Amino acid sequence: MPIRKATIYTPSPRGRSGSAGAGKALPSQPAGAPKADAPVAGNATAATPRAGPRRRLQALLWAGFGALVALAAMLAVTALQPQIRLITQAQIDAAVRHSLEKDPLPSRAMKAYSGVARSVVRVVGLMDENDDALERPDKMAMERSLGTGVVIKDDGTILTNLHVVWGAKRVRVTFANGHESEAQLVGAQPENDLAVLKANSLPDDLEPATMRSTGDLAPGDEVIAVGHPFGIGPSVSSGVVSGLGREFRAPEGQQALTNLIQFDAAANPGNSGGPLVTMDGFVVGIVTAILNPNEQRTFVGIGFAVPIENAAGAAGMAPF
């Protein structure tokens, strides 16, 4: 009769809820070590409440340390930056006065002259074909006519007064840089006492003047007159526009000049044909006459200029 052996069962860990594996250590767990998810006996209640406040304290300490570092960096940057200084109006005024005393601004008349300086020429009408002694003043009254001109085109076109060159056998012009040249009479406008010259040779630095309409010119506007009074020049005098639309008849003249600009900048014989210039350096007229109640031919405070519109027309240039 066969002997029945007792069946041996190997207890399964899943089959028992907690006691089956109590006496045996799992392969990944040292023998006698507590389970990972089980609290240590006697410390379960104390460890849990202390973990949260400790982390919060550490976070606060790190935050405070970061704030201190940021504050130190900000203070360092501020210390390196220049300090902003408040400036008062009195200090500004004092600085401006000091600057002007050290380096004064150029006058308005000087700035106006700089705009035409290279364009102004000395004009001499020679009554003798053989006269080359341009610097002999003893012959000026009888055998020469002295005046001024202004270059208006870079081809050497020059505006002057007709009475400066009328009857001359030869005309010579001297440019701002000293260059001398013969010039030809190429146009005339007797009703405005205007003449147009063309120089035979030109300097390298020739610079024609810039002309401006007289449409917005008004009494009281500042102007300068540039020329060679009595052969001295170039000379600059400043004044204002005294009036517009004036009429003038020279004692020896048969025809009255009309629509003239009246000005009070000093002008004398030799200024004739020179430019009347605004403060921005633009030519608005050609000086043509001075009022002389006596026979001494000296300036008494009233000069006349032909508007540049008329002068440009004499040179064949389109009106403004």
- The domain that holds 140 is classified in CATH as 2.40.10.10
On whether residue 251 sits in a domain, the answer given is: yes
Q: What is the four-CA torsion angle of 294, 296, 299, 302, rounded to 10 degrees?
A: 20
On whether residue 6 sits in a domain, the answer given is: no
Residue where a domain terminates, one of 167, 199, 231: 199
Please tell me the chain's helix, strand, coil percentages from 3-state DSSP, rounded to the nearest 5. Answer: 25, 25, 45
- What string of pLDDT tens digits covers the 320 residues of the chain? 444 444 444 444 444 444 444 444 444 444 444 454 444 444 444 444 555 777 878 888 888 888 888 888 877 777 776 666 778 888 788 888 888 777 777 789 999 999 999 999 999 999 876 655 444 544 444 457 899 999 999 999 999 999 999 989 999 999 999 999 999 999 999 889 999 999 999 999 899 999 999 999 999 999 999 999 998 989 999 999 999 999 988 766 667 889 999 999 999 999 999 999 999 999 999 999 888 777 667 788 899 999 999 887 766 665 54
Is there a single domain that holds both residue 172 and residue 256? Answer: no
Is there a single domain that holds both residue 180 and residue 117? Answer: yes
Q: How many residues does the chain have?
A: 320
Q: Is 238 buried (19+), middle (13-18) or exposed (0-12) by CB count in 10 A?
A: buried
On whether residue 208 sits in a domain, the answer given is: no
Is there a single domain that holds both residue 166 and residue 245? Answer: no
How crowded is residue 312: how many other Cβ atoms within 10 Å of its Cβ?
20
Q: Which backbone phi and psi does 194 adopt, to 5 degrees?
A: -115, 145
Residue where a domain terminates, one of 149, 166, 199: 199
Is there a single domain that holds both residue 242 and residue 191? Answer: no
Is there a single domain that holds both residue 195 and residue 233? Answer: no
On whether residue 306 sits in a domain, the answer given is: yes
Is there a single domain that holds both residue 307 and residue 268? Answer: yes
pLDDT, residue 159, reads: 95
pLDDT, residue 25, reads: 44
Helix (H, G, I), strand (E, B) or coil at 239: strand
Is there a single domain that holds both residue 190 and residue 256? Answer: no
**Cβ neighbours of residue 166 closer than 8 Å, sequence gap 6 or more:** 125, 145, 195
Is there a single domain that holds both residue 185 and residue 237? Answer: no
pLDDT, residue 178, reads: 93
Could you give the CA distance from residue 222 to residue 84 in angstroms, rounded to a whole number? Answer: 44
Q: Which amino acid is at 80?
A: L
Total of domains in the chain: 2
Is there a single domain that holds both residue 189 and residue 230? Answer: no
Residue where a domain terminates, one of 165, 199, 233: 199
On whether residue 212 sits in a domain, the answer given is: no
Is there a single domain that holds both residue 227 and residue 283? Answer: yes
Chain-centroid distance, C-alpha 132: 46
pLDDT, residue 62, reads: 82
On whether residue 146 sits in a domain, the answer given is: yes
On whether residue 102 sits in a domain, the answer given is: no
pLDDT, residue 50, reads: 54
Is there a single domain that holds both residue 174 and residue 118? Answer: yes
Containing structural domain, residue 165? 112-199
Is there a single domain that holds both residue 236 and residue 309? Answer: yes
Cα–Cα distances (Å) from 36 to 15, 25, 203, 233, 311, in that order, read: 21, 13, 107, 113, 113
pTM score above 0.85? no
Cα–Cα distances (Å) from 183 to 96, 123, 156, 230, 280, in that order, read: 50, 9, 9, 21, 29
Give the catalytic positions in this structure.
163, 193, 272
pLDDT, residue 157, reads: 94
On whether residue 72 sits in a domain, the answer given is: no
Helix (H, G, I), strand (E, B) or coil at 195: strand
pLDDT, residue 32, reads: 47
